[in-house]
Amino acid sequence: MDCPAISDHFCLAGHRRLTSNPSRIHEVEAWTQSQHLWTRRAALTITLPWTKHRNPKPENLAIREQVLGWAASLAEDQNTSIQKAVATWVFELSRKDPERAAAFLTEHGPKMRNFARKDAGRLLPQNITPAA
């Protein structure tokens, strides 16, 4: 992968494979440590289906929390593409679980660049929007 379009196309196909066999999540975790920018970004993009469950099962919650741990470590990466990937993951999570998204932003938002923090929290209701 050498650009966002290729990475996104790869991740769309990967969504189906990962959701059909969630045990592969451990392979994806290694991507977060890659020296390759698009591979680190893909680790978050390919796991976006776990942001979409309104009433997730315990195993889906465990994966969601695992990916939020990756997002927390990647929030320190100041690369714009990585910041956008973290923001997108938290933004998508805020659609179904705004309280958890707000908790993430409260704890890890200060490590993020301003544009990413604002983008991640743009759907959060005023009463649970974290302080910037």
**CATH code of the domain covering residue 75:** 1.25.10.90
Residue of 62, 65, 79 lying closest to 107 (CA atoms): 65
SS3 of residue 32 by DSSP: coil
Under a CB-based contact definition with an 8 Å cutoff, are residues 107 and 66 in contact?
A: no
DSSP-based three-state secondary structure for 93: helix
Determine the pLDDT at residue 132.
54
CA atoms within 13 A on the CB side of 72: 14
Q: Which two three-digit tokens encode residue 105?
A: 């932003």
**Per-residue pLDDT tens digits of the chain, which is 132 residues long:** 666 667 776 777 888 899 999 999 999 999 999 999 999 999 999 999 999 998 999 999 999 999 999 999 999 999 999 999 999 999 999 999 999 999 999 999 999 999 999 999 999 987 665 655
DSSP 60-84: HHHHHHHHHHHHHHHTT---HHHHH
Residue 71 near residue 29, CB atoms below 8 Å? no
How many domains are there within the chain?
1
Q: Is the pTM of this model over 0.75?
A: yes
